[in-house]
Structure 1
Amino acid sequence: MSDVVLYESNGPIATITLNRPDKLNALNTEVVLELDKRFAEAGADDSIKVILLAAKGRAFSAGFDMNDEIEDGTETPLDWLPVLRRDCDLTMRVWSCPKPTIAVVQGYCLAGACEIAMACDLIVAADDAKFGEPEIQYGSGPVTLLMPFILGQKKTNELLFTGDKINAEEALSLGLINKIVPLEDLETAARELALRIAPTPLPILQLTKQALNRAYEAKGLRTAVNANIDISALINGANTPEQQAFDKVAAEKGLKAALAWRDERYKATTA
C-alpha cells in the first residue's frame, strides 16, 4: 500500500494526511490517485462524520508536482486535457464529499493544493500559512477555478493575474479560512472543530452539506469549473517563449534552477 497518503480513523473523525514532506507534499500522480481513493473511502464509511485533510512536514502542499509533466513530456493542449481533468476530478471529489471536510494547513498551500483546500468546507490554518495560486508565473492557470466563488471577483483577479501569495491574516480577513492558531496548536484546534460538528446525526450533516453545495452550484460553480478545463489546457499548451525557456532550464539544470529563473524574471518587473 502506498504511504504518500496516510489514512486514520478515530471515532467519528477520519484524517487523511499528505506524506511527501521532503517534496513539500507536491501532488504527483500517485498522490492524486491515493487522495481520490481515500476521500471515496471516508465518504462511504457511515462511522465517519467529519474528515480532516492534513499534511506532514513544514508545508501543506506546494501544489501539483511539475516534475510529472516535465518527465511525461506533457506539452500540447491535447496532452494536457486528460491530466487537467484528472486533477480537477480530485478537487471536485473533495468538494462533493458527503461529509464535512476540514483542511488543516501549515506553511505553503499553493496552486492545486490551494484549490483542494478551498474545496474543503472549512480551513484551519497555522499562523505561518501562506496561500496563493501562482500558476500564471509558470505560464499555467488554475485547474478548478474555485477562487472566484470564495473570494469574489476583484481579489481573485488580483491574485490570479499576479500570482501573489497571501499570509494567514489576510486569508482570514478575506474569508478564505475560518481560523488561525499557533502552529503548535494546529492539530488540536482542527480536531476540536471536528468534534464540535460530530455530535450532529450523519443524515443531517449530509443534507446540510448538500444544501450548501447546491447554493454555490446554482450560482454556476460547476459550469465554471467545467468550462475552465478547456481554457487551462490551452494556457498550459500555449508553448510561449517563456514556457519553452522554463522547460529548457528544467531539463538541463533541474526544476529548482527553473524556479529560480522564473523568480528572477518576476523580481525584475517589481524592481
Structure 2
Amino acid sequence: MSDVIQYEVKNRVATIWLNRPHKRNCVSPAVLEQIGIAIDRAEKDNDVLAVVVRGRGNTFCSGADLGELVGPRLATTNDSINLAMVSAQTYDRFYSCSKPTIAAVEGYAVAGGFELMISCDFALATTTARIGDFHIRRALFGGAGPIYRLPRYIGIRRSKELMLTGKLLTGEQAADWGLVNDVSAPEDFDKLIEDFVAPLIDKSPFCMKITKMSVNRGLDADTQSLITLETLACNVVHQSADAKEGVEAFLGKREPQWTGR
C-alpha cells in the first residue's frame, strides 16, 4: 500500500488507515485510488471478516484536498464529473462490500470524510468527534452519498439541516440523531471498536454477505438514478463562481465573498 493509506489485519479484522495527519487526512484523487485498492484487498481476503476505516492523528477525514479543486486538474465539466464519479464509486465499495464495514471516527468527519462515514454499514465516534456535511460552507456539493444515503439514516428534515447549514455534530449528538451506532471517550475508543466488531466476526460470512446484500438492495432500488442526479448536480455546483471563491478563500485563509453565481 502507498504510505498515504495503511492496511493491516488483526484477529480477522482489516483496518484501513488514512495516513495524512498533517492534512487532517484530506482526500486527493491519488488517495481515493489507494482507498479503493485497500477495500478491494479486504473484499478478496477470505480471512478478513470485517473492515474498519480510521484516520491517523486523531482525525478521521476532513474531506477533499481543496488544493486539488483549483487549477487545470478540474478545469472542465468533464473533469468534475469524473472526480465525482470516482468518489461515489470508491465510497460505494464500503457500502456494497460483502463484509461489514465500520467507520471509526475521531476528530473531524466532514464533507468527503462524512460521505465515507455514511457509506459504511456502521459508525462509531468519540465524544470529541465533529461530524457533518460541511460542503455548503464552501459553496460546494457533496457528490458521494448525502442525497441518497443521509435521508435514509436520519430523515429528510435533519438531512436538510445538516446539508443546508453546514453544522457540525458532536459524537454524542450524532448518536442521538442516528448517524453513529455508539460513542465513547477518546481513551476508551479502541475498546469500543473491539467490542463492537466482536459479534460481527463470529457469524457465518456467507449469511453475513447475503443478509447485508438483501438489506442494501431493499433500500437501494433506484440508487443508480440518484447517483447520476447527484453527480450532475455536483458538477454544476463545482463549476460555479461561488465554488471557486469558496476554495480560493479557504486556501487564502480569508472569508469568502459570495456572488450568487
TM-score, length basis structure 2 = 0.92
Task: Give the aligned residue type for 2:233.
Answer: I
Task: Give the aligned residue type for 2:174.
Answer: A
Tell me the secondary structure at the aligned position of residue 164 of structure 1. coil
Distance 1:172 1:231 in 2: 29
Q: Which residue of 1 aligns with 2:69?
A: 69
Q: Which residue of 2 aligns with 1:116?
A: 116
Q: Which residue of 2 aligns with 1:58?
A: 58
2:174 is aligned with 1:171: yes
Task: Give the aligned residue type for 1:261.
Answer: E
Q: Which residue of 2 aligns with 1:231?
A: 233
Counting matched residue pairs gives: 255
Distance 2:31 2:71 in 1: 16
Tell me the secondary structure at the aligned position of residue 186 of structure 1. helix
Alignment map for 1:1-271 (pairs within 5 Å): 1-144=1-144, 145=146, 146-218=149-221, 220-238=222-240, 240=241, 242-249=242-249, 255=251, 257-258=252-253, 260-262=254-256
Distance 2:248 2:161 in 1: 29
**Is the CA contact (8 Å cut-off) linking 2:127 and 2:183 kept in structure 1?**
yes
Distance 2:31 2:247 in 1: 23
Deviation at 1:79, TM superposition (A): 2.5
**Is the CA contact (8 Å cut-off) linking 2:237 and 2:243 kept in structure 1?**
no
Does 78-87 or 15-24 show the bigger shift?
A: 78-87
**Is the CA contact (8 Å cut-off) linking 1:76 and 1:236 kept in structure 2?**
no
Any idea what the Cα deviations from partners look like across 1:225-251, whole Å, max 9, x if unmatched?
A: 23210111011112x2x334445556x
**Is the CA contact (8 Å cut-off) linking 2:69 and 2:247 kept in structure 1?**
no
Q: Which residue of 2 aligns with 1:269?
A: none
Any idea what the Cα deviations from partners look like across 1:96-146, whole Å, max 9, x if unmatched?
A: 111001111001000111111111111110110111111112121111222
**Is the CA contact (8 Å cut-off) linking 1:149 and 1:221 kept in structure 2?**
no
Deviation at 1:8, TM superposition (A): 0.5
Task: Give the aligned residue type for 1:170.
Answer: Q
Relative to 1, partners in 2 of residues 1:137 and 1:101: Cα closer, same or farther, differing over 3 Å? same
Task: Give the aligned residue type for 1:152.
Answer: G
Tell me the secondary structure at the aligned position of residue 57 of structure 1. helix
TM-score, length basis structure 1 = 0.89
Distance 2:248 2:163 in 1: 25
**Is the CA contact (8 Å cut-off) linking 1:49 and 1:198 kept in structure 2?**
yes
Relative to 1, partners in 2 of residues 1:45 and 1:133: Cα closer, same or farther, differing over 3 Å? same
Distance 1:52 1:247 in 2: 31
Query: Which runs of no fewer than 5 residues in structure 1 stay unpaired?
Result: 267-271
Deviation at 1:82, TM superposition (A): 0.7
Distance 1:185 1:222 in 2: 39
Percent of residue pairs identical: 25
